[in-house]
Structure 1
Amino acid sequence: MGISKHKDVFDIPENICYLNTASLSPSFKAVEQAGLDAVLQKSRPYLIPSSDFFDPVIELKQKFAKLIQVDNYERIATIPSVSYGIATVTNNIKLEPGQNVILMQEQFPSNYYSWKKLTDNYQAHLKIIPAPKSKIKRGQLWNEALFEAIDDNTAVVAMGHIHWSSGTLFNLKAIREKTHKHKALLIIDGSQSVGALSFSVNELQPDALICAGYKWLFGPYGCAYAYYGPYFDNGEPLEENWTNRLDSHKLPDLTKYQDDYKPFANRYVMGESGSFIHVKMQLAALEQVLLWTPEAIQDHCRTLSIKAAEELRHLGCSIEDDAYRSHHLFGLELPASIDIEEFKKILSQHSVFVSFRGTYVRLSCHLFNTTRDFDTFITCLKLAIK
């Protein structure tokens, strides 16, 4: 797999080894063009119909709903960031003193700070499930520890489908069953999975799913998506804007103020959610992701990463068991003998782009990557070992 048939969709030079989509995805050429077209459209605002504030957003919600397999697109809100989506969730949850909110160790800050504030406000407990120290069956043990931690005092389990730095895969179906049993909410951060790993709201029934839009969904920085289930149907939004109120599409009647919000997740949309530039770029991005399908993306990444992970283990790296990790994103812990700063210099000299997150070097691949990219990374590691 020396040449990717999908690379022409992107504008990535041949000498660049980009294994860092988990940090920031490269734009499709179609997404770039959509953004340019939208910028030019704003130059002639008299040609922009009022329907452009609404119709493209509806189409965007429909595409995201299809991607995550949810029947009602009105349960989708377009938002500016994961932190906005999580803050909306915590803004609508009340806890009892002594209840707990469960998080995984070293979750991304956007899925930590709001929960810390919520539990502090209600004298509740933030229950962090640490990663097992064992390198053997680590993912299995971590799943078991999380499963056992859910009890009658648990109000919320807030977590990713995978761990954002190690790539550890969590059994959401079993966790959902346990949270149902104890009447706890399940809030999922899908930023590092949705788009590259199959996710079905119809099957898993989370209470909310929040996703950054600029990673595996290939949108511009500053966009995100949220699914809100029935628990949030009558909640309070973070902001009062004209578009989340009933009949807001009737522009001549905007000063006939409405007490009612639009139904379902529409009450949670951000102000200026009809941003012409962002929405057009997001539509072009989701159209391509849906065409490829997360299943095909994951299969491609599995083919690439299995052999590479095996060779990296032989070089002394610690990587999650293949059965308990994602294949588009995985972290490796380097041998203790490696000089990290020297290794970073070697990677830079070979135009290799990866992320260093905590104790992990995080590798993330997509359809534009080939075995040559992993071979280049492995060559750099061998040079660092020498």
Structure 2
Amino acid sequence: MTTQILPSQRALFDIPDDIAYLNCAYMSPLARPVVAAGEAGMARKARPWQVTPQDFFTDTEIVRGLFARLVNATAEDIALVPAASYGLAVAAHALPLQAGQSVLTLAEQFPSNVYPWMEKARAANAAHMQVPRPADDDWTAAVLARIDAKTAIVALPHCHWTDGGLLDLVAIRQACRDVGAALVIDATQSLGALPFDVQAIDPDFLAVGGYKWLMGPYSFGYLYVARRWQQAMPFEQNWIARRDSENFAGLVDYKTDYQPGARRFDVGERSNFALMPAAKAALELLLGWGVENIQATLASRTAMIASRAREEFGLGSAPVQKRAGHFLGLRFKNGVPADLPVRLAAGNVFVSVRGQSMRVTPHVYNTDDDVERLFRVLKSALG
């Protein structure tokens, strides 16, 4: 498939011309169609007599299918969750871990993909191992070197949340397969901007928060569950995940079995009449742009920013082949000045600092003028 550089989609967003918002890794702005869909969804509950039992199921199945298209799965494989942390809790609940085995995560990994494994390892008298940050930015090699016969679970991102350091999940999956380890991915900082194919990578679980690169509302996310785990016990028990829950009159005829596929892992009250329409509109927008096109567009922009930052200010970053194209972590020789984000925000430039990097994470709503503002304000802020 031939990718294309997308023109700026600024008109679809409520971003004033004098604002350079380069912080999608923090939280994406909602596009106008997404806001409109959410407002319309919220208004529906003002007239609950117009909400039918079927309405609890229609949009959920559409959204399940839209997300499945993003990862090359089927709707049967997708659960609807409120956050990546919930999806990761489902994974931790389902996966076996024995005493003497180990769980592997990255140093400085986002806490939602660390805490469940710390607790699971503690409860099982297993080890929680962290892969140290590699000096050469080669996370893949560092992870592969740590996987051994004791490794039971490898829980990773697709790219590191502090600086975009990229992992080759296909190679890591093969190493996991060789030792019989499960692979759990938190793709909150990548999915929607970086292509992901569950057929190629074959994760056991893939959890995603929807409010960053999926351009959706807060408190709405997704969970892919591989077929081999779809009979596992859910993390919670709720009525809508049970068989025949469409029949409201028969809900007291309690069932022991569940809705098919990954639906048993859906969170209670998944049929959120405000968030569900907004999530649907966001996924439709992303699929219309094409994730491959989004990645090409953002990779082009971050490469240019990285080059200028190096030439004009001597700032470093992970090599382009070792970071995700949509994600740029700029490194200062003496560390990021503590108040730099505040000084940049005073000039209407919005970035964030995570770990030892200043994250610059644009999206398709950004323009060349935003980049010029970034460098103009950065020059002033650095004196």
TM over 0.5: yes
Q: TM-score, normalised by structure 2?
A: 0.95
Choose 87-96 or 15-24, whichever is displaced more. 87-96
Check conservation: 1:20, 1:353, Cα contact below 8 A.
Answer: yes
Check conservation: 1:304, 1:370, Cα contact below 8 A.
Answer: no
CA distance in 1, matches of 2:381, 2:271: 49
CA distance in 2, matches of 1:75, 1:88: 14
- Residue 42 (str. 1) matches residue 42 (str. 2): no
Shift of 1:68: 0.8
CA distance in 2, matches of 1:339, 1:131: 22
What does residue 341 of structure 2 align with?
A: 344
After superposition, the Cα gap between the structure-2 partners of 1:143 and 1:232, relative to the gap in structure 1 and judged at 3 Å, is: same
What does residue 112 of structure 2 align with?
A: 110
Choose 96-105 or 373-382, whichever is displaced more. 373-382
Check conservation: 1:339, 1:384, Cα contact below 8 A.
Answer: no
What does residue 76 of structure 2 align with?
A: 74
Give the one of 183, 197, 200 matched to 1:186: 183
What does residue 331 of structure 1 align with?
A: 329
State the AA in 2 paired with 1:102: L
Check conservation: 1:194, 1:217, Cα contact below 8 A.
Answer: yes
Give the one of 341, 355, 367 matched to 2:352: 355
CA distance in 1, matches of 2:23, 2:7: 17
What does residue 319 of structure 1 align with?
A: 317
Shift of 1:385: 3.2
What does residue 20 of structure 1 align with?
A: 23
After superposition, the Cα gap between the structure-2 partners of 1:201 and 1:317, relative to the gap in structure 1 and judged at 3 Å, is: same
What does residue 58 of structure 2 align with?
A: 55
Check conservation: 1:244, 1:262, Cα contact below 8 A.
Answer: yes
- Residue 213 (str. 1) matches residue 199 (str. 2): no
Gaps of 5+ in 1: none
CA distance in 2, matches of 1:185, 1:350: 46
Check conservation: 2:336, 2:357, Cα contact below 8 A.
Answer: no
Cα offsets for 1:70-107 (capped at 9, x unmatched): 1x211100001111111111111231211111101111
Shift of 1:384: 3.3
What does residue 36 of structure 2 align with?
A: 33
CA distance in 1, matches of 2:237, 2:360: 40
What does residue 175 of structure 1 align with?
A: 172
Shift of 1:333: 1.5
Cα offsets for 1:152-181 (capped at 9, x unmatched): 111011000000111011001100111111
Check conservation: 1:53, 1:274, Cα contact below 8 A.
Answer: yes
State the AA in 2 paired with 1:14: D
CA distance in 2, matches of 1:37, 1:219: 15
Shift of 1:357: 0.9
Q: TM-score, normalised by structure 1?
A: 0.95
- Residue 8 (str. 1) matches residue 23 (str. 2): no
CA distance in 1, matches of 2:162, 2:84: 17
Choose 371-380 or 315-324, whichever is displaced more. 371-380
CA distance in 1, matches of 2:381, 2:29: 28
Q: State the 4+ residue runs in structure 1 displaced beyond 4 angstroms.
A: none
Check conservation: 1:35, 1:278, Cα contact below 8 A.
Answer: yes
- Residue 369 (str. 1) matches residue 366 (str. 2): yes
State the AA in 2 paired with 1:40: A
Where do 1:134-153 residues align within 5 Å?
Answer: 134=135, 138-140=136-138, 142-153=139-150
What does residue 91 of structure 2 align with?
A: 89
CA distance in 2, matches of 1:305, 1:196: 13
Shift of 1:337: 7.7
Choose 266-275 or 234-243, whichever is displaced more. 234-243
State the AA in 2 paired with 1:215: K
CA distance in 1, matches of 2:365, 2:289: 12
Gaps of 5+ in 2: 1-5
Shift of 1:4: 5.3
Percent of matched pairs sharing the same residue: 36
Check conservation: 2:25, 2:361, Cα contact below 8 A.
Answer: yes
Check conservation: 1:161, 1:189, Cα contact below 8 A.
Answer: yes
SS in 1 for 2:137: helix
After superposition, the Cα gap between the structure-2 partners of 1:337 and 1:94, relative to the gap in structure 1 and judged at 3 Å, is: closer
Shift of 1:305: 1.3
What does residue 133 of structure 2 align with?
A: 131
CA distance in 1, matches of 2:95, 2:118: 13
State the AA in 1 paired with 2:365: F
RMSD of aligned residue pairs (Cα, Å):
1.5
What does residue 3 of structure 2 align with?
A: none
State the AA in 1 paired with 2:289: W
CA distance in 1, matches of 2:120, 2:181: 15
Give the one of 218, 228, 242 matched to 2:239: 242
CA distance in 1, matches of 2:240, 2:40: 24
Shift of 1:139: 2.5
What does residue 298 of structure 1 align with?
A: 295
